[in-house]
Amino acid sequence: MTTSNIKALIPSELRKVWEFILDIENYDAWRSDLSKTEVVSDKQFIEYTKDGYPTTFTVTLVEPYRRWEFDMQNSNMSGHWIGVFTDKGNETEIDFTECVEAKKMLMKPFVKSYLKKQQAQFVADIMKNFS
């Protein structure tokens, strides 16, 4: 299992950051790596890359304005994501951790760098909307 973590301070109040990030239906409006998202239920959604590659997410925990967790799965990997949101007055600290297991031996050496790249892009896309 490969684990990767990213932390950042978002220049906005907690409630706005939380609601923005959990507004899955609008991901395609601001996520530079996705073509669309499909909300299956209140516990499950699917993200599609620009190439149409799907990843299914199953929400496992929601503590409003504090913590959001889900399992993720596609043909290349499975894993778990934890998002912790901390109120810092006029800013919000986000602390995102992903634990992923590659399903194909050939991909294992590349998982850590891929996760780091994906996390950095996700945070950069968020920041564009709050700067």
At residue 97, does pLDDT exceed 90?
Answer: yes
pLDDT per residue as tens digits for the range 11-69: 999 999 999 999 999 999 999 999 999 999 999 999 999 999 999 999 999 999 999 99
- pLDDT tier, 107 (very low <50, low <70, confident <90, very high otherwise): confident
Locate the domains of the chain by residue range: 2-128
pLDDT of residue 115: 93
Q: Is the pLDDT reported for residue 106 higher than 90? A: no
Mean predicted confidence (pLDDT) in 115-129: 96
d(CA 85, CA 83): 7
131 — pLDDT class (breaks 50, 70, 90):
confident
Mean pLDDT along residues 102-130: 93
DSSP readout, the chain?
A: -EEEEEEEEESS-HHHHHHHHT-GGGHHHH-TTEEEEEEEETTEEEEEETT--EEEEEEEEEETTTEEEEEEE-SSEEEEEEEEEEEETTEEEEEEEEEEEESSGGGGGGHHHHHHHHHHHHHHHHHHTT-
Question: Structure pTM?
Answer: 0.93
- What is the rounded distance in angstroms from the CA atom of residue 86 to the CA atom of residue 4? 19
The structural architecture, per CATH, of the domain 2-128 is: 2-Layer Sandwich (3.30)
